[in-house]
Amino acid sequence: MFDASVYTARRDALRSKVKGGVILLPGHVDSPINNAANCYRFRQDSNFAYYFGIYKPGMVGVIDEGGRSIIYGDDVSLDDIVWTGPVPTVREQAEEVGVKTTRPLRDLPADLQVAIRKGQRMHIAPPYRAETVLQLSEWLGLMPTHVRNYASEELIAAIISMREVKSAGEIEELDRIAEVGYEMQTAAMRMAQPGEQENTIFGVLEGIAATGGNLTSFGSIISQHGETLHNDKHFDILREGRLLLVDCGVEAYSNYVTDNTRTIPVGGTFTPQQLDMYNLVLQAQEYGIAHSKSGVRYLDVHLGVCGVIVEGLRAMGLVRGDVKEAVEIGVQGLFFPHGLGHMMGLDCHDMESLGETLVGYSRDVARSKQFGLSALRCAKELKEGFVVTVEPGIYFIPELIDQWKAQGVMKGFINYDEVEKYRNFGGIRLEDDIVITAGGCRIIGKKRIPIAPADVTAEVQKGRFAGKK
Amino acid sequence: MFDASVYTARRDALRSKVKGGVILLPGHVDSPINNAANCYRFRQDSNFAYYFGIYKPGMVGVIDEGGRSIIYGDDVSLDDIVWTGPVPTVREQAEEVGVKTTRPLRDLPADLQVAIRKGQRMHIAPPYRAETVLQLSEWLGLMPTHVRNYASEELIAAIISMREVKSAGEIEELDRIAEVGYEMQTAAMRMAQPGEQENTIFGVLEGIAATGGNLTSFGSIISQHGETLHNDKHFDILREGRLLLVDCGVEAYSNYVTDNTRTIPVGGTFTPQQLDMYNLVLQAQEYGIAHSKSGVRYLDVHLGVCGVIVEGLRAMGLVRGDVKEAVEIGVQGLFFPHGLGHMMGLDCHDMESLGETLVGYSRDVARSKQFGLSALRCAKELKEGFVVTVEPGIYFIPELIDQWKAQGVMKGFINYDEVEKYRNFGGIRLEDDIVITAGGCRIIGKKRIPIAPADVTAEVQKGRFAGKK
């Protein structure tokens, strides 16, 4: 992905941040579907990709106490070549990323044991795949249930401090892959016609992602029930008058991703009720973008966005009372029960395997327990080079409305009779990915995915005419 | 997928085949990509699907010594419903498959320990996912590295004896999903135009599979280098005069799959050399289909196909000498270094996680060590209800030719000078899926994917004209 010097500099910086001990970064092995030889599409561990830059299974990266980088891995045999074709050697691949020392994988456990006997600490990141747990258990002689307890806070903090600030090269790659994300979203708009199946759109987006990248960056949400936040069902037929929420992204072979949400009126026409609510979400989203800049806590941007939403809902008669007070006690939780966004980069929820709170919060910004606000993934002060999503939404979740109404939650602020009129509304979310710049921020990608109501409608209309040809 | 009575009958049959002890069939959990919450598309374990028929993560099926079926699993909480929408309870799902007893997952280890203390054997299938190894290790108190040693031969044999014979209902599902497999292959043919990218075809096939099913049944092979048998690279641009090998399949939500290969002349015109070789592979494939019937060993069908191939190559001057003798010593290994086919059903390589040799061979058919023949996955006597693939191929693998030529392997039979003329030919494979019937066999699916050279050419031409519109 990058020049060898980039990876060498990253490893040197990591080594200087982590005092002593062995830094052990296992790359991924293949992940079996239904037998050992039939695996999901390979996807490298993001930390390994960031520091060792090789996108092949079965490699392990080590930075020893003396600062030397070593890649452990095995070459393919001639018998395998009949099945896989010629493959570069581990040594050739290591050279590409500035690593001079390579060893067969079987040497790793003994090498680690030598270091352990010398009293050197093993710095590992928290494993999230069972394969990695098993490997670490075996290599380090730990009980599998205890492996996670050995994750190194020092290593985690060092990695976060480096990966959270994206370099120009990383942003270039994010801009590049954003074009595929654009294609996915606009394809969905053109297909948002009555009678079309959610599933067909799902399949087409899978295809676009697999053509332009390696994978979708997460299971695409393509649903006329946008009020279910992580709806993985997509088996309905599109109906005129419904809103289709499309939250999807692509992941490049480099692991860099996109993550965008648009909410599309099936057939291309918003009802007046939908249009009012859509414009409110859009206003909130643009408030979020306008206020994201270096030195500002993302928590405060989130709370500002909540203010916009509550203010708008008050104008519509769904909420009453003082806006500031309403936001403080969390009235917005009924309508917007998640956070404004998360960091993004080599992962969609960037570095989330290292610990969501460690990534998104800092010593001076603690996590709230308030419903809704507690789901905010990124709250800390923004810095130049941060990449975050801006994704407010307004949803009408029947189960949640019933629960709050029955318990009379914040009934002084919430006009439940008015809320009931939106019971079958569904949900709206709008999401762009931004990078914090010197002057403020900008949206990732060469052009913004259509978001103004007229632009979305126009894109849907294109598909309607294409279908009628 | 099927009526509750089908699953009850299967569990009863399994219980009667496995004498004593507890039958423990863990379903799959989600498989993380880059953090615990971002997972690959869920795919159920095939044994769990066959006996317990539920396609949700986190369930475990038990048949106790008394023959009672129990499903262990946890219900979704109200908090989760905001994210996932309403989900049927474990009890409701269990009733659908005829299971009356359900328990929370946390009860499982203690229940198993009670049975172990009573001296009851634990019958488990060999785990192939690390998650399952970790679960079994914890539940049964075994070292992770030892879990596989506890796989029950009795259970494996019982499962194979049941799953190898497909019911009418299973064949109906295979016929149904075959329509999606047909669509994938013919879409590839229409896209096989000079200048098109292999990767674009790959993406389109991913999309068709995700629209009509859950997943591709394995990583699609879409390559102008068909001589690399499991080529997972698809980054080349299609060039006139090359052959594009497309080996792909879809997996339904039920887990039933398709697996087909076609080899397509880019642009729609075979060279005379390609056409001769294609016709030979087609002749071999049709010989395989014509000779597959109940009571015949698939090993013998494979050897018969080898005879057709060697005979044809002799007519072309690449091989010389006595055909029968050549087949016996394995001359075909240079050109056809794999087996004629494998069983197929709930897995593409059906039941392969139970052990390839246990599935494909029997007490009276041993596995050969001869290069090529050793890769034959199914050799045993065919029975009515078996579903197998028929997929001969002819390849020119430069690395293998160089190795054999340098060592003078079978130089009395192989005309290496003539073989050199095909050095850059690539490879051809043709594959259909068949079910053994009372009278012989038939190809799965309502219509056969185009395979005669004129039919393949016609399909490619359709795409050419579509592109020119």
Nearest to A393 by CA among A191, A230, A176: A230
How does DSSP classify residue B401?
A: H
Over range A362-369, report the average pLDDT. 95
**CB of B212 less than 8 A from some CB of A:** yes
Percentage of the residues of chain B whose pLDDT score is greater than 70: 99
Which residue in chain A has the smallest CA separation from B229? A83
Domain ranges of chain B: 4-163, 168-468
The two beta strands, A243-248 and A221-223, are: antiparallel
**Which residues have a Cβ under 8 Å from the Cβ of B298 and sit 6 or more positions away?**
B292, B340, B341, B360, B376, B378, B379, B380, B381, B382, B388
Nearest to A302 by CA among A388, A229, A383, A190: A388
Average confidence score pLDDT of chain B: 96
More confident residue, B222 or B228: B222
Q: Would you call A256 exposed, middle or buried from its count of C-beta atoms within 10 A (0-12, 13-18, 19+)?
A: buried
Q: Which fold has domain B168-468?
A: Creatine Amidinohydrolase (3.90.230)
Tokens for A179? Answer: 């074009």
User: pLDDT tens digit string along A163-175?
Assistant: 999 999 999 999 9
Question: Are A37 and B233 an interchain contact pair (Cβ–Cβ within 8 Å)?
Answer: no
Nearest to B246 by CA among B392, B431, B424: B431
DSSP conformation letters of A113-140? HHHHHTTPPEEBPPP-SHHHHHHHHHHH
For residue A137, the chain B residues in CB contact (below 8 A) are 144
Q: Determine the Cα–Cα distance for residues B462 and A13; give it in Å rounded to an integer.
A: 57
Question: Residue holding tokens 């087409």?
Answer: A204
Question: Residue holding tokens 């006595």?
Answer: B322
For residue A349, the chain B residues in CB contact (below 8 A) are 35, 37-38
The two beta strands, B432-436 and B387-390, are: antiparallel
Q: Determine the Cα–Cα distance for residues A277 and A318; give it in Å rounded to an integer.
A: 12
Over range B15-21, report the average pLDDT. 97
Nearest to B57 by CA among B24, B29, B86: B29
Over range B128-143, report the average pLDDT. 96
Q: Taking a contact as any Cβ pair under 8 Å apart, which residues of chain B between 69 and 108 contact chain A?
A: 78, 81-86
pLDDT attached to residue A467: 53
Cα–Cα distances (Å) from B330 to B303, B335, B373, in that order, read 10, 10, 8
pLDDT attached to residue B97: 98
Nearest to B459 by CA among B447, B467, B469, B450: B450
Task: Inform me whether the pLDDT recorded for B467 exceeds 60.
Answer: no
Confidence of residue A468 (pLDDT cuts 50, 70, 90): very low
Tokens for B429? Answer: 């494979």
| Whether the Cβ atoms of residue B27 and residue B61 lie closer than 8 Å to each other | yes
Q: Determine the Cα–Cα distance for residues B132 and B206; give it in Å rounded to an integer.
A: 27
Distance from the Cα of A439 to chain B's closest Cα (Å) equals 32
pLDDT attached to residue A108: 98
Over range B130-135, report the average pLDDT. 98
A24-28, A289-293, B15-19, B228-232: lowest mean pLDDT where?
B228-232
Q: Determine the Cα–Cα distance for residues A262 and A285; give it in Å rounded to an integer.
A: 12
| Whether the Cβ atoms of residue A192 and residue A202 lie closer than 8 Å to each other | no
Q: What is the distance of C-alpha B101 from the center of its chain? A: 34
Q: Determine the Cα–Cα distance for residues A299 and A375; give it in Å rounded to an integer.
A: 11
A-B contacts (CB, under 8 Å): 173
DSSP conformation letters of B363-397? TTBPPP-STTGGG-S--SB--TT-EEEE--EEE--
**CB of A131 less than 8 A from some CB of B:** yes
Tokens for B64? Answer: 């106790």
Q: Is B308 helix (H, G, I), strand (E, B) or coil?
A: helix
Q: Determine the Cα–Cα distance for residues B328 and B308; give it in Å rounded to an integer.
A: 13
Q: What is the distance of C-alpha B86 from the center of its chain? A: 34
Q: Determine the Cα–Cα distance for residues A390 and A284; give it in Å rounded to an integer.
A: 10
Question: Are A206 and B206 an interchain contact pair (Cβ–Cβ within 8 Å)?
Answer: yes
Distance from the Cα of B28 to chain A's closest Cα (Å) equals 10
**CB of A370 less than 8 A from some CB of B:** no
Q: Which amino acid is at A406?
A: A
Question: Residue holding tokens 């695996």?
Answer: A39
Q: Determine the Cα–Cα distance for residues A213 and A128; give it in Å rounded to an integer.
A: 23
Identical fold, B4-163 and B168-468: no
User: pLDDT tens digit string along A195-206?
Assistant: 999 999 999 999
Provide the angle, in degrees to the nearest 10, between the axes of the packed helices B4-17 and B153-163. Answer: 140
Confidence of residue A469 (pLDDT cuts 50, 70, 90): very low
Question: Are B349 and A45 an interchain contact pair (Cβ–Cβ within 8 Å)?
Answer: no
**Which residues have a Cβ under 8 Å from the Cβ of B136 and sit 6 or more positions away?**
B24, B26, B124, B127, B142, B147, B150
Confidence of residue A76 (pLDDT cuts 50, 70, 90): confident
User: pLDDT tens digit string along A384-411?
Assistant: 999 999 999 999 999 999 999 999 999 9
Q: Determine the Cα–Cα distance for residues A73 and B456; give it in Å rounded to an integer.
A: 43
User: pLDDT tens digit string along A195-248?
Assistant: 999 999 999 999 999 999 999 999 999 999 999 888 888 989 999 999 999 999
**CB of A203 less than 8 A from some CB of B:** yes
Rounded (5°) CA angle A298-A302-A303: 120
Q: Taking a contact as any Cβ pair under 8 Å apart, which residues of chain A between 251 and 310 contact chain B?
A: 255
Percentage of the residues of chain A whose pLDDT score is greater than 90: 94
For residue B218, the chain A residues in CB contact (below 8 A) are 38
Helix or strand run (H / E) with residue B70: strand B69-72
Q: Determine the Cα–Cα distance for residues A235 and A241; give it in Å rounded to an integer.
A: 18
Question: Are B45 and A34 an interchain contact pair (Cβ–Cβ within 8 Å)?
Answer: yes
**Which residues have a Cβ under 8 Å from the Cβ of A275 and sit 6 or more positions away?**
A453
Handedness of CA A204, B238, B416, B314 (dihedral sign): positive
Over range B439-468, report the average pLDDT. 92
* CATH architecture for segment(s) A4-163: 3-Layer(aba) Sandwich (3.40)
| Whether the Cβ atoms of residue A454 and residue A258 lie closer than 8 Å to each other | no
Over range B11-35, report the average pLDDT. 98
Question: Residue holding tokens 């699993």?
Answer: B73
**CB of B409 less than 8 A from some CB of A:** no
Question: Are B144 and A137 an interchain contact pair (Cβ–Cβ within 8 Å)?
Answer: yes
The two beta strands, A441-443 and A69-72, are: unpaired
Cα–Cα distances (Å) from A271 to A241, A243, B32, B163, B455, in that order, read 7, 10, 40, 53, 50
Cα–Cα distances (Å) from A28 to A56, A136, A143, B241, in that order, read 8, 12, 20, 38
Q: What is the distance of C-alpha A7 from the center of its chain? A: 23
Task: Inform me whether the pLDDT recorded for A331 exceeds 90.
Answer: yes
For residue B33, the chain A residues in CB contact (below 8 A) are 40, 43, 215
Q: Is B454 helix (H, G, I), strand (E, B) or coil?
A: helix
pLDDT attached to residue B84: 79
Confidence of residue A432 (pLDDT cuts 50, 70, 90): very high
- Within A142-214, residue ranges assigned H as helices are 153-163, 168-191, 198-212
Q: What is the distance of C-alpha A145 from the center of its chain? A: 27
Of A128, A138, A212, the CB nearest to B35: A128
**CB of A362 less than 8 A from some CB of B:** no
List A430's β-bridge partners, or say none: none
Over range A256-265, report the average pLDDT. 98
pLDDT attached to residue A150: 95
List A260's β-bridge partners, or say none: A248
| Whether the Cβ atoms of residue A127 and residue A34 lie closer than 8 Å to each other | no
Over range A2-30, report the average pLDDT. 98
pLDDT attached to residue A34: 97
Distance from the Cα of A420 to chain B's closest Cα (Å) equals 17
DSSP conformation letters of B87-135? ---HHHHHHHTT--EEE-GGGHHHHHHHHHHTTPPEEBPPP-SHHHHHH
Measured torsion, CA atoms of residues B325, B329, B334, B340, in degrees rounded to the nearest 10: 90
Cα–Cα distances (Å) from A187 to A200, A204, A348, A458, A459, in that order, read 11, 8, 21, 13, 9
- For the beta carbon of residue A11, count every other beta carbon within 10 angstroms: 24
Q: Determine the Cα–Cα distance for residues A284 and A276; give it in Å rounded to an integer.
A: 12
